[in-house]
Structure 1
């Protein structure tokens, strides 16, 4: 009488990975339907599963996958209205466009107030997200420490003021500001002032550096500067201050378009013509640039691409890759104000 055959042992995850010629981690990601796996590797794992007849253990699968399917865009701003700023609106469009190619969901977090910081810290500490994108950091921003302590993959949208993180997407702020100032010099302007952003931001320091470099290379000294807060009202107030202290200025480079729009308003109120008496250049090339009077000459930076590439970099990190930092180019958008 024949001896009954022993029941066949079910295939293991390691055997699936070996058959597919991928790591155990990649095989697990495919089985758990984590989206951040290349198409070729996913196809290889799925083929191995079919050939081996692998069936995942549901209990083990629930324990193994800690993916939440959520990424956080954390912005250090002065209030909820920061998300209504055209710059951040464009960043969000870019981030969302990149995440549409995955199964990840976007959570927006404004983390400047004590309450906002605590909520974000709690969210990240409990691993409520898979990764973080940080924007609009100020000085030694506590957001940096919060993200670091979480241990989550983190991408910086713009380099912080202090230190260089391993993963960031930024624009060529120095080169863009240099080009803006050179454009004014080429137009015959010699008394060129600058409206800067807050001093404790990396973007302000970089754009001020570009402005200074261009003047020095042209044999000119930095003429005057006035800080503001990246808002239109702040730009108008800064422009009024410059007119009081340096009434003979003949050009202004504003570190963003909102402040440039405010400067145009203040110049008009003071009876100065643009570009006849004073030429004005901004930075961003946001929609407001074509609605000012006159239309604003500005530095075009790819704002949507900034958000899109930051999201793509985060997805790459979640997929176990080691992407390189990225600097996006800028270019002049010349209109009537200069």
Structure 2
């Protein structure tokens, strides 16, 4: 059997020092994007896999341990309904298999701290969620050799198995509903453009309107929070005072839009129709109740957790393909 390539060989192949290659592997922010790509390309060409200590060599434990890594600031985990639902459902799966489940946050700024325990053998597998473009930890995990499954499509250029929901089709359903109810001055409150799922929602919505001949569709951006939805709605009212519909890429942003419309004296749905995305519990408690796209958050969590457990148990016999779960428009009073 041929010897496995070493980190020094990877560094030589990439034309960098071993210290630089090591910093890339640990997610250091001190490495440029171009250098990081050189090192990962060299890893791929040589077939380098990060060495992990054999099971049972650690005195700390001999059983399995997994981590859920949320690529957001900690307050978002507690304020964003998606993460509360996702983590609760994933935890049930891991508990059923007797696998301890650790939750970590990792922003680009904290990747240097988060990466070492994740890639050096402390965890048997990693569940990744919320990774945006150029997130150094996502890039590091993709080259680490540790079993990783992404909840949601990973950023472009990051090769990780994943499960996702059909964000584009959910947005298409929202756009078609507004067209069928004769809304003609339609606007959008999109999510963060660096997040793949948010881009997919915007793309699916705009493509449907463009196919119907609507090419001038004002777009504001938020961060999925209630406050950002209210601010975006205020901007859209100034940009397009005669708007008669808004699609918000999350229910909290849609709730913020409802508040801004109420303050502006616009009646919903008489003057303006509002559609959200999530079918979070708050969608049934807004006034009026919110038409929204139901995303199968719990099903996504269960699926990705099971995919990760399968990868840990048998990395040589894991089903291929990235499953996509369907979304569904739920019509309520806001349209």
TM range (shorter): 0.7 to 0.9
Q: Tell whether the 8 Å contact from 1:132 to 1:314 is kept in structure 2 after alignment.
A: yes
Deviation track 1:122-149 (CA, whole Å, cap 9, x = no partner) reads 2113311101111111111112123134
Alignment of 1:278-289 (within 5 A): 278-289=272-283
Alignment of 1:63-78 (within 5 A): 63=57, 68-78=63-73
Q: Tell whether the 8 Å contact from 1:80 to 1:110 is kept in structure 2 after alignment.
A: no
| Further displaced range: 323-332 or 176-185 | 323-332
Residue in structure 2 matching 1:107, options 102, 105, 111: 102
Q: Tell whether the 8 Å contact from 1:127 to 1:150 is kept in structure 2 after alignment.
A: no
Corresponding residue number in structure 2 for 1:232: 226
1:136 has 2:130 as partner = yes
Distance 1:62 1:201, change over 3 A: closer
1:256 has 2:250 as partner = yes
Q: Distance in 1 between matches of 2:216 and 2:131?
A: 26
1:118 has 2:112 as partner = yes
Q: Number of aligned pairs?
A: 278
Q: Tell whether the 8 Å contact from 1:215 to 1:222 is kept in structure 2 after alignment.
A: no
Deviation track 1:24-50 (CA, whole Å, cap 9, x = no partner) reads xxxxxxxxxxxxxxxxxxxxxxxxxxx
Corresponding residue number in structure 1 for 2:318: 322
| Further displaced range: 146-155 or 228-237 | 146-155
Deviation track 1:37-91 (CA, whole Å, cap 9, x = no partner) reads xxxxxxxxxxxxxxxxxxxxxxx98459996521111111133342442110000
Alignment of 1:107-256 (within 5 A): 107-112=102-107, 114=109, 116-163=110-157, 165-256=159-250
Q: Tell whether the 8 Å contact from 2:108 to 2:135 is kept in structure 1 after alignment.
A: no
State the shift of 1:222 in Å: 4.2
In structure 2, runs of 5+ residues without a counterpart are: 1-53
Give the superposed CA RMSD.
Answer: 2.0
1:336 has 2:330 as partner = no
Q: Tell whether the 8 Å contact from 1:295 to 1:335 is kept in structure 2 after alignment.
A: yes
State the shift of 1:290 in Å: 0.6
Q: Tell whether the 8 Å contact from 2:56 to 2:62 is kept in structure 1 after alignment.
A: no
The residue matched to 1:198 in structure 2 has which SS?
coil
Q: Tell whether the 8 Å contact from 1:159 to 1:168 is kept in structure 2 after alignment.
A: yes
Deviation track 1:113-168 (CA, whole Å, cap 9, x = no partner) reads 63x32332121133111011111111111121231343210101111231363410
Deviation track 1:230-274 (CA, whole Å, cap 9, x = no partner) reads 100000000000001100010000011110000000000000000
